[in-house]
Structure 1
Amino acid sequence: MTIFKHPIIEHIPSLRRYARALLGGRAEDADDLVQDTLERAYAKWHLWNVGAKLRPWLFSIMHNLFINQVVLLKNRAAHVSLDDAMELSVIANPGARLEAMELVHAVSRLPESSRTVLLLVTLEDFSYADTAKILDIPIGTVMSRLARARQQLRNMLSDTPQVELKVMK
């Protein structure tokens, strides 16, 4: 199988999108994570079950690499490349740009466990079952982390914090 016809190739755009969202838009770190994911996938290709879905397997690899590298990435100095700065300046509507930046900032402030579930389900459109498999957690944990993440985002983005009501029994 030649590299240009490899089934992994079609998943690169979604891997890049998820990596950028996961890393708060840091394009260079995201590209490094995608490259590491692809290298690991090619090295471990013999472990992929031919009948299984390829996309969740790739995202599992990326998640595990992210967890392993998160400490290293936090210690690196943050910077924006000129290409990224040019992309940001193209947005014509400053109000929409501000809202988008607030959303990205709010998502980046979520705890890592909630952020990964939120991004996999909403941005990458994985099912709860696939998300549970990727993160190696129970499906109920996926549902509760997603609910908490959404509530935290609502609280961060609203003018008046919303209080979660709990029923006492």
Structure 2
Amino acid sequence: MDRRLLTEQIPAMRRYARALTGDSWAADDLVQDALERACVKWRLWLAGSDLRAWLFTLMHNLYISQVRQRLRQGPAPLELDAVEQEPAAPTGGGDEALDLQRCLLQLPHEQRVTLLLVTLEGMTYSETARITGVPVGTVMSRLSRARSRMQELMEVSPRPTTSTSGSAVAGHGTLRRLK
């Protein structure tokens, strides 16, 4: 096994895992599990083939298995004694900032994976199809739906400062005409 080839892929794996899981600790665990699996199954990788796609396929399949396992187990019970303080209310300004991570996590899993592989990791449709195990046409469809949904989620609706009909209203840095 050539460690250099493997270690060169770690930054991309971590970036994709963080975007996929939405949590840096879970992402690091996922990457570590994927790397362990890659070391165990190293003989299955064909030298000269795309190592990055192979590693992403391992990580993707491992992530799917973990999600399925969590769904079977159900949510972990929350111990009230373990909570040290009252949860704090969110601070102001949250609705003014675009929260890309939150929007990504609102996408259906299949769309989020496809969007991340193509846009964040720069993979081709055929590489993405190979990693996710679906036809290229399905990748294109999922990508289109994901982009449309992200656009909807990321749009900030302006808050009117005046409610007078027919007047110009400023809100969140935009100016529009009300009818």
- Pair 1:98 & 2:97 matched: yes
Alignment partner, residue 115 of structure 1: 112
Q: 1:65 aligns with which of 62, 65, 72?
A: 62
**Larger helix proportion of the pair:** 1
Give 1:98's aligned amino acid. A
Q: State the TM-score, normalizing by the size of structure 2.
A: 0.71
Write the distance in 1 (CA, Å) between the matches of 2:11 and 2:43. 23
RMSD: 2.1
Deviation string 1:28-60 (CA, Å, 9 cap, x unpaired) is 110110000000000000000112110000000
Write the distance in 2 (CA, Å) between the matches of 1:141 and 1:111. 14
Structure 1 outlier segments of 4+, above 2 Å: 71-77
1:7 Cα deviation (Å)?
1.1
Q: 2:154 aligns with which of 135, 154, 157?
A: 157
Structure 2 residue runs of 5 or longer lacking an equivalent are 78-92, 158-179
Write the distance in 2 (CA, Å) between the matches of 1:23 and 1:146. 18
Give 2:44's aligned amino acid. L
Write the distance in 2 (CA, Å) between the matches of 1:148 and 1:106. 14
1:6 Cα deviation (Å)?
3.4
Alignment partner, residue 143 of structure 2: 146
Q: 1:16 aligns with which of 14, 17, 24?
A: 14
Write the distance in 2 (CA, Å) between the matches of 1:98 and 1:21. 18
Q: Alignment length, in residue pairs?
A: 138
**Larger strand proportion of the pair:** 2
Write the distance in 2 (CA, Å) between the matches of 1:73 and 1:125. 29
Q: 1:103 to 1:76 in 2, by over 3 A?
A: farther
Q: Which has the higher contact order (CA 8 A, sep 6+)?
A: 1
Write the distance in 2 (CA, Å) between the matches of 1:159 and 1:18. 26
1:71 Cα deviation (Å)?
4.0
Asked which structure has the greater CA Rg, the reply is 2
1:159 Cα deviation (Å)?
3.9
Structure 1 residue runs of 5 or longer lacking an equivalent are 78-93, 161-169
Deviation string 1:65-88 (CA, Å, 9 cap, x unpaired) is 0000014557469xxxxxxxxxxx
Give 2:97's aligned amino acid. L
Deviation string 1:143-162 (CA, Å, 9 cap, x unpaired) is 000000000011112246xx
Give 1:58's aligned amino acid. L
